Structure 1
Amino acid sequence: MTLSAEQAQQDGAFARGTPGGPLWHFVRGFLKHPVMVGSVIPSSKILIDKMLDPVDWANTRLFVEYGPGVGTFTQHILDRLAPDATLLTIDTNADFTAYLNSKFTDSRLEAVTGSAAGVRKIMADRGFESADYILSGLPFSTLPPGIGPKIAEETAGALRPGGAFLVYQFSPKVRDFIAPHFDRIDEGFEWINIPPATLFWAWKD
């Protein structure tokens, strides 16, 4: 997918951290909501490719992303997504939602301000019964009490049979939240990321 001139300018501002660039928004979001943002440093491309590799893109109609932030994963998902599929992003930070809506003009993207704990209602409000894949980088270990288990339960209910919950974390404790709801969990680790991350692919049989 070809970047527009505006997107290229914004991406160029990333490394500089200038106001209006992705890094500026990311750091501001981290400072405003530190317990809801997993890291002040966006994920590496190596981590992104490894995380998304198991996805059956040809048969994906709805992909959901929790906590998209400034769209570090979002563009890579859109690049892989079928023309008639939908990417639904959910973020509690309205600043991030507004940023995504201004950065991306792709009609397949629906950026929503809300909680991942309400994913099924958010999906239903938009006419979706189930998701094929749900991706999350939310820091489960630092979420407010009760939110982590609720997100895990809601996610399992939102996925179709055969779908998967893709999770990248900087603490392996997230497995305690997702294990009660999924039949099979594959694990990986990525050193080439700041900080290094544990990866989980939780499958709904």
Structure 2
Amino acid sequence: MTSSELAREALPQSIKRRVKRMLGPWGVFVEGFLRHPVMVGSIIPSSRFTVRKMLAPVDWDECRLFVEYGPGVGTFCRPVLDRLRRDGQLIVIDTNPLYIDYLRRTITDSRFVPVLGSAADVEEIVRAHGHDHADYVLSGLPFSTLPEGVGPAIAAATHRVLRPGGAFLVYQFTAKARDFMARHFQRIDSGFEWLNVMPCFLFWGWKQDGE
């Protein structure tokens, strides 16, 4: 290949890198959505209104381990870390290496642990990082479009890994996620946030003593 041919080959890559730098986190988020649309709930990150409302019921004084499924580019990560106690830990789990690599580069907080893996393996991941249970688990994964059997497996594993009094926090564009949660959680609080693209349903499944 001649030098001019190499230059033509390199040009599209250089343009892509420049566009990604210009778009910042949003560009990374869109690229991740285009690569794995079934595993990403939205092409637009959640609004600050959704973040604030979703996290409002959390008892941060009692939260030592917070887990998030599908963190994307960290829309929830930074607000969680801002609220999390100094000796707490935030473990985020994603099957998309693009997002995990981005988070490793951009979030340097010692309490932050990004894991490339499946949310269905949350119990093993939590134990591997020295914990017996999680206090809260947050998910924006699109339960209704996940491969068959994955949604129920994630809901069941989440219920098992939570301590009594802990909660499974879920935000979705449809109310179908509640069906997955209801098989395991007797108490589910519901909400809705209009100021989001798109407006979304919010659910908090609380693990009761004896469940």
TM over 0.5: yes
Structure 1: how far apart are the matches of 2:38 and 2:207?
A: 28
Structure 1: how far apart are the matches of 2:178 and 2:61?
A: 28
Structure 2: how far apart are the matches of 1:24 and 1:74?
A: 18
Report the counterpart of residue 3 of structure 1 in structure 2.
Answer: none
Structure 1 stretches of 4+ with a deviation exceeding 2 A read: none
- The structure with the larger Rg is 2
Structure 2: how far apart are the matches of 1:66 and 1:18?
A: 27
TM-fit CA distance, 1:18: 4.0
Report the counterpart of residue 172 of structure 2 in structure 1.
Answer: 169
2:24 is equivalent to residue 19 of structure 1: no
Structure 1: how far apart are the matches of 2:204 and 2:108?
A: 29
Identify the match of residue 51 of structure 2 among 48, 53, 61.
Answer: 48
Q: Aligned-pair RMSD on alpha carbons?
A: 0.9
Report the counterpart of residue 74 of structure 1 in structure 2.
Answer: 77
Identify the match of residue 29 of structure 1 among 28, 32, 42.
Answer: 32
Identify the match of residue 157 of structure 2 among 147, 154, 162.
Answer: 154
Please give the TM-score of this superposition, normalised by the length of structure 2: 0.88
SS in 2 for 1:181: coil
Report the counterpart of residue 39 of structure 1 in structure 2.
Answer: 42
Structure 1: how far apart are the matches of 2:172 and 2:179?
A: 13
Letter in 2 for 1:148: G
Alignment of 1:109-188 (within 5 A): 109-188=112-191
SS in 2 for 1:19: helix
TM-fit CA distance, 1:130: 0.3
Identify the match of residue 93 of structure 1 among 84, 90, 96.
Answer: 96
Please give the TM-score of this superposition, normalised by the length of structure 1: 0.91
How many residue pairs match? The answer is 189
Structure 2: how far apart are the matches of 1:108 and 1:18?
A: 31
Gaps of 5+ in 2: 1-17
TM-fit CA distance, 1:79: 0.4
Identity, % of aligned positions: 60
TM-fit CA distance, 1:183: 1.6
Q: Deviations over 1:24-72 (max 9, x none)?
A: 1100000000010000000000110000000000110000000000000
TM-fit CA distance, 1:85: 0.2
